[in-house]
Structure formats: structure tokens, C-alpha cells
């Protein structure tokens, strides 16, 4: 028997296929798992409260929700349905709400029809002023409302699905035991007659229909178009990422046509700064697509320097054609790692140098470059609105670079993003503080008196307030109330569109908190975070306009209301705990005071 078993084993061994190692082979354990087809979003989440679905009747459930919080895919969004939406706004304002659809069973062909709104005189706001966007879920490396986000590795091992990305749609399917938020924006025409407008929204599926009520109070004041807003919004653009994400040649006609869509979205939010790059890869290659220089540096065969502004000019002119024309920032006299790249005309090779600020080679190059750049900017009529941008660099390097720039010409404008340093104050025309590392109010006021602007920013820190995909949306609106309370001129964020590999489904970017590096999505699609930021900027503009009108009014009620608003603003400057309910209530109270004062004026 033993011999027979041995012979059988030998026979199996001899007939079994023998696999040799092949070139390029990957072990099975390291093979990535691919889905059978592309998914528009991940669907691996499970409900925290699964029992809540058992209490839901079959069929369509629909409700208005708030834009100040997130609603999750596998959770019952609300216990009591709200079938009416009431809002108040100025003429020229955009009003937002969320529509929530859910069901314990699958619903097919869910679709919406917005009808005209009409006042008692028969005047209408056309349904075409309303836009609907499906809210898609993206992957986060932190849970909702996390207060421990850091710039390094997340302490969480699991992933979390967050509603954020907007997507146009005609209709959609709703799987059983899931919810779907739909974002509704209503643009109140600047020419609309003040008064109360009412209308309906019809929600349909294959088998169900629900009618929703809308009531909009249009107030008399007119919100200026975004180009006229004074809030200085600075979202750093990454044009090369747009080309990379769409697999097109950088700076081709197709690329510039796409850039126009992204810049239009930025312009519609009041964007003021044009992000340009005077050096190659200023941020030390820390993006999925390297940002190239918009101004090519060429060392000619005789040793002299030449500069090509073709890309720089095309991008600036494109942005300005859309109304983004208040400021141009050229990054940067202090690239990370002090790395500089130029083209050697004699060899046709790119040469990489390391020139620390203040060194002889640095001074020599920057004197030549700044002379040429200034001549070009003056020829284009852009010099007085151009800033040389420095970002979060060591103080010794920052001061050395500023010295070189100011020695070339004290007329150069410089913007700096980083912590508050008193020794930088009078050297900077535009100072952007990191939230929590700011100056006192007196320094901000002094800067305003001498014509300098002051803003603030958030990045991968602080954990709150912020614009991460897991941040409570109210924080995005709160940001501009804080700007108004502190006397800032606006807000900055890196970045606008520095996407990771698969931003349509996965908002994580290396070790940074999800959503840190972008606010809009491929396809020039907006997001909950971007729209909440815009809402806050509108509040900022309303406060500015009302302050001017109240100062000119002799009405005691108006003076009292403005006094109450000013007192309420102190709440935002003093905020430290950032409890979601508390800051939501603070913004709501501010909005109520604005609405009441708007009626009085």
C-alpha cells in the first residue's frame, strides 16, 4: 500500500504543471483587485442604525433637508419628512437647499421637475433659474466631524463615505435601504420684483409622485455680481492637473477650453487671484501632476538669459476674460528645496540648480529675471496687480528673498502665506495668516490704514474649522463670518483643483485629510464644500453693503439692528470649541439679523 501511494503521488507530481517564474511577474498577494466595471461611487458602507429602515414604509420618501450637515448613503436621513422649503434672499443671490430621497425598497427613474415660482401679481421666477445636482459619495480617511485631523498619517484604519461631489443628472436609480441627497440651487434674478414667490417641485418615480412646496421671499437689496464683490478669494489653481486628469496635451486648445470652465466656476464664487508659476514644480513634486513653470527660463549660448511668457500670458488673459482680474500671484522666489530649473540652449538639456535665497547665484539670477518680468508686466498693464508669492518658508529664507526683491525695486508687491511674524508685517503688501497663528486686531487695522490687505487660510490644519470632505458643511460658511469678525479682506486655500488619482470616488491625497487639496471636481463640477464657502462669501458681501447703508441711515431701528449685528460678530472671533450645533446657531442668528436689517433698509 505504501508503494502504491508513493507511486500515485509520483504520478500526480509528474503530471502536475510546473510554473517557472516569468519576467515582470507579480505575486498573487500583491495583485490589485479590480471591480468588474467602473463604479461612479463606492458602495461598501453599512448602516449604523439598520433598525431604522424597518420602521420606514415602502415606496418613495422625500424631504427637504439643511445644507449645513451631511446625509449618509445607508442611513435614514430624517425621521419626519418636510415637504416645504422657505427661504429669504436678496435679488441676485443664490439660495440653496438639499432634497433627500430614500426608501426601504428600490426606486427606479427618480426625477424632479421644478415649476415656475409666482408672486400674487403674477410675476415669476422661471424654473430655469433652478439647478439640480446629484450628490455623489467620495472616500474619506476620517469620519464625519473628526476633530483629530493632522497633516500626517490618519489614525483611522477604515474608510468613510462622505457626500460631496456634484453631478448633473436626468434621473437616477435608488437601491433599497439607501438615501440620496440632491442639491437644489435657485438663482434669484437681479431684476426680480421684491415679494413672496411660491411654487412647487414634483418628485416622481416609476410608481410614485410627491409634490413639494417652495416659498421664497425676495428682498429689495441687490447683491452685486461676483466680479464686484470685495471679498478677496484666493484659491490656488493647478492647470497642469486639469490636463493630466483629462489626458490631454497641456496648453492645447482642448486644455484651455477646459480651463475656462474651471475658471468660470471660480469667478462665479468671486475669485480674485490668478495663480501663476514662475518656477518649475515650486512645491517639491508633492502633487500627482507636477506644476510646471509658466515662464520658461532659457540660458542662451552667450550666457545671457531669455524668458518665454507664452503660457503665463495665455493663462492670465483667460482668467481676466472671465472677470478674475484683481491680482496675479507669481510663485515663487522661494521654491521648496530652493530648486530652480532652466533650459540650456547650448545643449538642449534642462539644468537643475539649488540656489538658496541671498546667495550670489540667487541674487544674480533674480535681478535679471525681475528686470525682465517687470518690463513684461508693465507692457501688459499688469505690474500694479502682480504679487510675488512666498509660502510657509523658513523665516531666514523668507527675509533673504524679500531683501533681494526689495533691493531690485521697492515697488514689487509681495504676498506671504504662513504664521504671523511681526518682522514681516511692513514688508508685505498682502499677508495671509494660518488660522490660529494670526496677529491681533490692532495689526490688521494698521495694515488696512496703510493700504495693505490681510487674509487668512486653512490647509491640512487646523482640524477645524476647515473644508475637508468630512468637515461639517457649516464650517465652510462660518469661515467668512470669521473673516468679517476679524476685519480680514478675504480667505485663501490651497488648493482649488490639485486632484489625487481617482477624485471622482476617492478624496484621499496621500497622508493629508481627504479633500484638503481640492474644492471642485473633474468636469468643472462643484461640491457641497465649495457651495458652502460661496454662501459665506455672500454673507460677507451682505455685511459689507449693510454696514455702508446703516452708516448713512438716521433710522434708530436701523442703527440698533446694525449694533446687534456688530455685537453678534464678536461671537465668531471668540469661537474656540466649534460644536456643530453652536456654530450653526450662530450663523443662523447672523442670517436672521441680516434679513431683518435688509427689510428695514
- Section 339-366 average pLDDT: 96
State the Cα–Cα distance between residues 310 and 324, nearest whole angstrom.
Answer: 19
The count of structural domains within the chain is 1
What is the percent of the chain with per-residue pLDDT over 70, rounded to a whole number? 97
pLDDT digits (tens, 9 = 90+) for 269-322: 999 999 999 999 998 777 778 888 999 999 999 999 999 999 999 999 999 999
Residue 117 domain-assigned? yes
Residue 14 has pLDDT above 60, yes or no: no
pLDDT digits (tens, 9 = 90+) for 516-565: 999 999 999 999 999 999 999 999 999 999 999 999 999 999 999 999 99
Cβ contact 276:315 at 8 Å: yes
pLDDT digits (tens, 9 = 90+) for 223-254: 999 999 999 999 999 999 999 999 999 999 99
Q: So what's the pLDDT on residue 501? A: 92
For 488, other C-beta atoms within 10 Å of its C-beta total 22
Secondary structure of the chain: what % helix, strand, coil (to 5)? Answer: 35, 25, 40
State the Cα–Cα distance between residues 438 and 520, nearest whole angstrom.
Answer: 27
Angle between helix axes 474-486 and 556-573 (nearest 10 degrees) is 110
Residue 8 has pLDDT above 60, yes or no: no
- Section 214-220 average pLDDT: 98
Residue 90 domain-assigned? yes
State the Cα–Cα distance between residues 303 and 309, nearest whole angstrom.
Answer: 20
| pLDDT top residue among 107 and 32 | 107
Residue 1 has pLDDT above 80, yes or no: no
pTM of the model: 0.94
H helices within 116-248, ranges in order? 239-246
Residue 43 domain-assigned? yes
Domain residues for the domain of 189 are 25-219
Residue 424 domain-assigned? no
Binned at pLDDT 50, 70 and 90, residue 19 comes out as low
CATH number of 178's domain:
2.60.40.10
* Sequence-ordered strand ranges (E) for 464-529: 490-493
How many angstroms separate the Cα of 133 from the Cα of each of 86, 171, 526?
20, 10, 9
Residue 3 has pLDDT above 50, yes or no: no
- Section 563-582 average pLDDT: 98
Residue 542 domain-assigned? no
Residue 179 domain-assigned? yes
Residue 181 domain-assigned? yes
State the Cα–Cα distance between residues 392 and 173, nearest whole angstrom.
Answer: 47
Q: So what's the pLDDT on residue 510? A: 87
State the Cα–Cα distance between residues 501 and 244, nearest whole angstrom.
Answer: 10
Q: So what's the pLDDT on residue 7? A: 46
Residue 252 domain-assigned? no
- Section 357-379 average pLDDT: 97
Amino acid at each position: 500500500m505504501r508503494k502504491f501511494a508513493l507511486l500515485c503521488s509520483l504520478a500526480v507530481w509528474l503530471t502536475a504543471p510546473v510554473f517557472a517564474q516569468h519576467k515582470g511577474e507579480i505575486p498573487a498577494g500583491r495583485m490589485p483587485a479590480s471591480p468588474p466595471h467602473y463604479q461612479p461611487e463606492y458602495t461598501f458602507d453599512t448602516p449604523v442604525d439598520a433598525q431604522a429602515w424597518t420602521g420606514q414604509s415602502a415606496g418613495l420618501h422625500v424631504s427637504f433637508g439643511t445644507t449645513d450637515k451631511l446625509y449618509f448613503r445607508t442611513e435614514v436621513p430624517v425621521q419626519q419628512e418636510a415637504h416645504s422649503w422657505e427661504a429669504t434672499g436678496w435679488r441676485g443671490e443664490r439660495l440653496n437647499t438639499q432634497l433627500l430621497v430614500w426608501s426601504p425598497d428600490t426606486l427606479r427613474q427618480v426625477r424632479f421637475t421644478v415649476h415656475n415660482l409666482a408672486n400674487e401679481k403674477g410675476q415669476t421666477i422661471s424654473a430655469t433659474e433652478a439647478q439640480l445636482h446629484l450628490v455623489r459619495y467620495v472616500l474619506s480617511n476620517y469620519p464625519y466631524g473628526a476633530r483629530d485631523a493632522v497633516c500626517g498619517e490618519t489614525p483611522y484604519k477604515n474608510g468613510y463615505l462622505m457626500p460631496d461631489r456634484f453631478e448633473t443628472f436626468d434621473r437616477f436609480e435608488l437601491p433599497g435601504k439607501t438615501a440620496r441627497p440632491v442639491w437644489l440651487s435657485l438663482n434669484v434674478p437681479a431684476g426680480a420684483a421684491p415679494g413672496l414667490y411660491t411654487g412647487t417641485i414634483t418628485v416622481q418615480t416609476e410608481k410614485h409622485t410627491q409634490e413639494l412646496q417652495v416659498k421664497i421671499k425676495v428682498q429689495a437689496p441687490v447683491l452685486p455680481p461676483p466680479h464686484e464683490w470685495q471679498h478677496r478669494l484666493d484659491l490656488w489653481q493647478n492647470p497642469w492637473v486639469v490636463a493630466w486628469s483629462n489626458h490631454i496635451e497641456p496648453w492645447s486648445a482642448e486644455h484651455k477650453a477646459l480651463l475656462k470652465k474651471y475658471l468660470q466656476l471660480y469667478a462665479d464664487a468671486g475669485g480674485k487671484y490668478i495663480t501663476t508659476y514662475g518656477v518649475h514644480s515650486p512645491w517639491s513634486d508633492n502633487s500627482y501632476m507636477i506644476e510646471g513653470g509658466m515662464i520658461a527660463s532659457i540660458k542662451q549660448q552667450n550666457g545671457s538669459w531669455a524668458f518665454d511668457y507664452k503660457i503665463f500670458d495665455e493663462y492670465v488673459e483667460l482668467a481676466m476674460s472671465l472677470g478674475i482680474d484683481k491680482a496675479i500671484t507669481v510663485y515663487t522666489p522661494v521654491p521648496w528645496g530652493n530648486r530652480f530649473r532652466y533650459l540650456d540652449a547650448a545643449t538642449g538639456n534642462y539644468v537643475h540648480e539649488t540656489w538658496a535665497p541671498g546667495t550670489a547665484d540667487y541674487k544674480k539670477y533674480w535681478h535679471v529675471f525681475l528686470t525682465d518680468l517687470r518690463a513684461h508686466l508693465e507692457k501688459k498693464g499688469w505690474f500694479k496687480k502682480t504679487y510675488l508669492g512666498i509660502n510657509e518658508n523658513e523665516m531666514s529664507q523668507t527675509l533673504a528673498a524679500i531683501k533681494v526683491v526689495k533691493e531690485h525695486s521697492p515697488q514689487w508687491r509681495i504676498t506671504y502665506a504662513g504664521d504671523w511674524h511681526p518682522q514681516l508685517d511692513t514688508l508685505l503688501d498682502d499677508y495671509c495668516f494660518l488660522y490660529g497663528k494670526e496677529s491681533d486686531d490692532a495689526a490688521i487695522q494698521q495694515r488696512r490704514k496703510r493700504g495693505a490687505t490681510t487674509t487668512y487660510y486653512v490647509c491640512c490644519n487646523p482640524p477645524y474649522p476647515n473644508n475637508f470632505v468630512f468637515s461639517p458643511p457649516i464650517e465652510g460658511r462660518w469661515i467668512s463670518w470669521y473673516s468679517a469678525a476679524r476685519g480680514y479682506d478675504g480667505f485663501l486655500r490651497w488648493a482649488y483643483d490639485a486632484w489625487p488619482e481617482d477624485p471622482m470616488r476617492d478624496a484621499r491625497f496621500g497622508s493629508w485629510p481627504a479633500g484638503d487639496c481640492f474644492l471642485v471636481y473633474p468636469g468643472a463640477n462643484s461640491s457641497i464644500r465649495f457651495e458652502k464657502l460661496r454662501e459665506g462669501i455672500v454673507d460677507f458681501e451682505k455685511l459689507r453693503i449693510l454696514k455702508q447703508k446703516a452708516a448713512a441711515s438716521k433710522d434708530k431701528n436701523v442703527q440698533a439692528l446694525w449694533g446687534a449685528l456688530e455685537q453678534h460678530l464678536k461671537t465668531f472671533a471668540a469661537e474656540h470649541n466649534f460644536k456643530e450645533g453652536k456654530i450653526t446657531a450662530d450663523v443662523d442668528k447672523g442670517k436672521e439679523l441680516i434679513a431683518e436689517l435688509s427689510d428695514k433698509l
